[in-house]
Every structure is written in C-alpha cells, then in structure tokens.
Chains A and B, each alone.
Chain A
C-alpha cells in the first residue's frame, strides 16, 4: 500500500478533533491545555506531510516554530493557572467565571 498525503491529513484531522472534543468536554484547565498541545501536534503532522509532499524543508522549519510557540503557550498558560490556583484554589474552568461581563 502506498501512503498518500491524504492518509496523513486524515490522521491529523482525527487527532485534531480528539483534542478539540477534549477541550470542550474537560473542565480541568490543565487538561484543557494538554488538549491544545494535542491539536498543535495535529497541525505539526500536516506541516510535515506537506513538506514531504513538496520536498521543501519550510514545513519542517514551521514545525520547529510551532514547538517554540507551544512551549511559550504552555509556559504562560501554566503560569496563569498557578496564579489562579493560588487565588481561587481551583482550576475548574466552570468555576472561573470572572470573564463574564
């Protein structure tokens, strides 16, 4: 069997949707962050697949960029969570409603 671009895109879609569903379903903020990481991974697979498809290293470069973005996002996100936890003693997003007007 020959692998095509579509195989990878389909895999990425499944992984992405898993992450998306998780983000909607879970209330634990940390787990939600992890779901975001999962979605980012899906995107990375798409990048790498297209890089392979076109024989261009640009996709790889952007995967690396994504690593950096993911790292930054995780660092900030977790720092915020820690701060929230200090103040509210919870990371359950359903209890964090102060974003409401």
Chain B
C-alpha cells in the first residue's frame, strides 16, 4: 500500500513539475505546480509525516501559490500569456546537459549505495503536530525565532518594495 502510494504520488509530482516547465502560459504553469505540490503532500503522507502533508496543502499549495496566481493576474499583459521567442534550438543541449548529468550521476550513486530500508515502524506519534511542535519549540527554538525574523524582514521588504510615493502614478 505504501509503495503504491509512493509510486503514484511520486509519478504525479514529477509529471506536474514537467508540465509546469513545459507550459507556455504562466497561469497554467502555476496550476500544474499546485498539482505537483498536492502530489508532494501525498509523498509526505507516505513518509509518516501527516502534519507536513497537511501544511504542504494549506500553506504551500494554498497560500503561496495563491500569491503567485494573484501576481500573475495583476500583471495581466500579453507577456503573461507566453514567451514571445523560443529559445534558440542549438542551445537546448547545452541547457539540458548539466541537469541530465546531475540526474545520471545521482542515480548512479544511489544505485551503488543503499542506506537500506526504513526502520519498520516510526516511533508512536511520529510526525504528529505534537511531536513536531515539541521539537520546534524545544531544541530548535532559536532557529524558530530566527525564521520569524526572516519573515519579518520579508514583510518589511515587500512593503517597502510595494510602497509608492503618493504622487507617483503607474507609469
């Protein structure tokens, strides 16, 4: 059952990702990404991380992707429909070689080195909100606080970028 779920979700996630890359329309690409994220939530579930799975759907697929869509809508213009020029054909191999090399090498490495299967069953309550919260607000408190500062800075940054002087109009 787990294996089935893994293969399904994994395949859907890769499929979603590839479709996103290939789509010319930004809106459609965003939708494919949402698709991939939901599949990723399934992968989390396979990994006994239910809390992460839920957060992946809520925060990632929900909040962040909505932000993307919102921006895409805001910048309607024809540019958003697609890219005017395709990339020159000779460049494709050059662009594709490094990722493919990475993939081949990583695959090869994984084939040669196996860490073995997972421990039979995770500890009781593993991946539950309580479990994660205990770690996050305990050992990793400082990191937690720091990330809050990162968010704060991001908020201030986004505000100041979006802020316009009163007299200035859309040019």
Contacts and interface: CB of A to CB of B under 8 A. Distances in A.
A86 B72 CA distance: 13
Contacts, number: 242
B59 A53 contact: no
The B interface, classified by DSSP as helix, strand, loop or mixed, is helix
The A interface, classified by DSSP as helix, strand, loop or mixed, is helix
A72 interface: yes
A8 B2 CA distance: 12
Interface residues of A, number: 72
Contacts of B103: 13-14, 17
Given A18-B14, A34-B29, A57 B127 contact: yes
Interface residues of B, number: 87
B68 A74 contact: yes
B67 A75 contact: yes
Given A7-B6, A22-B21, A68 B49 contact: no
Given A9-B110, A85-B75, A91-B79, A53 B118 contact: yes
A45 B40 contact: yes
A24 interface: yes
Interface of B: 2-3, 6, 10, 13-14, 17-18, 20-21, 23, 26, 29-30, 33, 36-37, 40, 43-44, 46-49, 51-52, 55-56, 59-60, 63-64, 67-68, 71-72, 74-75, 77, 79-80, 83-85, 87, 95-96, 98-100, 102-103, 106-107, 110, 113-119, 122-123, 126-127, 131-132, 134-136, 139-140, 143-144, 147, 150-151, 153-155, 157-158, 161-162, 170-171
9 contacts: A21-B99, A27-B83, A33-B68, A41-B36, A52-B47, A52-B126, A61-B144, A76-B154, A91-B79
Interface of A: 1-11, 13-15, 17-22, 24-28, 30-31, 33-35, 37-38, 41, 44-45, 48-49, 51-53, 55-58, 60-61, 63-65, 67-76, 78-83, 85-87, 89-92
